[in-house]
Chain A
């Protein structure tokens, strides 16, 4: 058994202080919030099939409407609705696609509405394509240069659910002049219920 207190030596003190300084230096200067935490962005256009590893995604059509007419209810836009028709085909297993938002040229983010039968998420398995219609209520100045961001991870908490995962960003192809025309239009869109995409007319009727 040792007797007496351990002596505080210059060598030990230097070791501890040096370790703390080295740790602080690493945390301060090594970019820990970039690289591995960023999602893998897959950019594309309307009609293009995007490979997200866990699914194939196609944004099939983009429309603008000031009114949504669903089966049970109708919804009037505060600004105007961007209606995005998309087709998901899972490639690994049953997958829930939670992430859906429109981003405008200024970086503002708009989340989907579930009014009038619009989808805010989709769920699909390998073996078939599943159709979903997302509706976003956006102001006039958000149309020009807007993109839609779709993924299996959620976009809450600064896209926390999409870190280190594939994310699709699709340019909606709306230019400044078209944005004015689209804003003036008074269209009514009836969102389709989610279902199999491109169902065969020659299939079984039982």
Chain B
């Protein structure tokens, strides 16, 4: 005798019998009619291209690159930009007045009430004369300085006007030749003065009078053609005086 074993139909409830529905389709939840689409089942879309799908990131990519380049170039503004004459704020001819304004961090060495503050230094400057000289005057202190062989000396006359107690430390009076060579960049001149924008009798590094005149001496190569005088206080701001 052969026994036939028939498995129970899926979804067939106890009340199911001949002539009734055979049960829910596997993808259809209870309570939903056949033919309806569940709300969380993704509706097939038309396939977008790679460029459209990544449009946002493509727009952000150049922004990210700019930010990365800026972040990795911090040395430019942190170390290079503040030290040295990089920003020409005004350019005039010799004999004309230029206005130099720039901020600096004051340590309060000469004016204690300005200690540890950022101060705006403003000064009007005029190059009154520039000429070669055969001799150097005696320095305020130390031995006389002779003009070395293979060098010539320039005398630069300048007139300044500024509020009293304007900080003058770090003064640079630079002669620039037509080939870009910079003579006299040091804050100390050929006579040993480390306060080139102050009068020789100045007691400190701040101005004492509203207007005053100074003379500074610079060594240069005999063949140099001086085309500019630059004035700065360590930078980055400076003014340029074109030499005719």
Let me know if A200 and B135 touch, CB within 8 A. no
In the bound complex, CA of A133 to CA of B230 (Å): 33
Complex contact B148–A200 (CB within 8 A): yes
27 contacts across the A-B interface (CB closer than 8 A): A3-B42, A92-B180, A92-B181, A92-B182, A93-B185, A94-B186, A125-B182, A125-B184, A125-B186, A126-B182, A126-B183, A126-B221, A127-B151, A127-B183, A127-B184, A128-B148, A128-B219, A129-B148, A199-B146, A199-B149, A203-B136, A203-B146, A204-B135, A204-B145, A205-B146, A206-B135, A206-B138
**Chain B residues within an 8 Å CB radius of A127:** 151-152, 183-184, 218-221, 224
A-facing residues in B118-167 (Cβ within 8 Å): 134-139, 144-152
Which residue on chain B has the smallest CB distance to residue A4?
B42
CB-nearest residue of chain A to B174 = A93
- A153-206 contacts to B, CB under 8 A, are 196-201, 203-206
Contact between A198 and B185, CB atoms less than 8 A apart: no
**Bound CA–CA A187/B149 (angstroms):** 31
Q: Which residues of B contact A198 (CB under 8 A)?
A: 148-150
Give bound CA distance, A198 to B136, whole Å: 17
Which interface class (under 10, 10 to 19, 20 to 34, 35 or more) fits B? 20 to 34
Chain A residues near B147 (CB-CB < 8 A):
200, 203-204
Interchain CB contact under 8 A, A129 and B150: yes
Interface assignment of A60: CB less than 8 Å from any CB of chain B: no
Number of interface residues of A (CB under 8 A): 20
Chain B 183-227: CB-based contact to A (< 8 A → 1; otherwise 0): 111100000000000000000000000000000001111001000
A91 on interface, CB distance cutoff 8 Å: yes
Scoring A3, A126, A201 by chain B CB atoms within 10 A of each residue's CB, the highest score goes to: A126
5 A-B pairs closest in CB distance = A203-B146, A204-B135, A206-B138, A127-B219, A206-B144
**CA–CA, A129 to B82, complex, Å?**
29
B40 — nearest CB in chain A belongs to which residue? A3
Contact, CB under 8 Å: B135 / A126: no
Known A-B contacts A200-B146, A204-B144, A206-B144; A125 and B151 likewise in contact (beta carbons under 8 Å): no
CA distance A25 to B124 in the complex (A): 61
Knowing A203-B135, A204-B136 are in contact, say whether A128-B150 is a contact too (CB < 8 A). yes
Residues of chain B within 8 A of A128, CB atoms compared: 148, 150-151, 219
A126 to B186, CA, bound (A): 11
A206–B134 alpha-carbon span in the complex (Å): 11
| Shortest Cβ distance from residue B242 to the other chain A in the assembled complex, whole angstroms | 19
A196 to B149, CA, bound (A): 9
Q: Which residues of B contact A94 (CB under 8 A)?
A: 182, 185-186
Interface string of A121-135 (1 = CB under 8 A from B): 000011111000000
Report the minimum CB–CB distance from B236 to chain A (whole Å).
Answer: 15
A125–B185 Cα distance when bound, in Å, is: 7
| Inter-chain contact B219/A125, CB cutoff 8 Å | yes
For B149, give its contact among A93, A200, A205 (CB under 8 Å).
A200
Question: B residues within 8 A CB of A206?
Answer: 135-139, 144-145
A204 touches B146 (CB 8 A): yes
Report chain A residues within 8 Å CB of B220: 126-127
**A42 nearest CB across to chain B (Å):** 20
Cα–Cα, bound, A3→B45 (Å)? 12
In the assembled complex, the Cα of A73 lies from the Cα of B181 at a distance in Å of 39
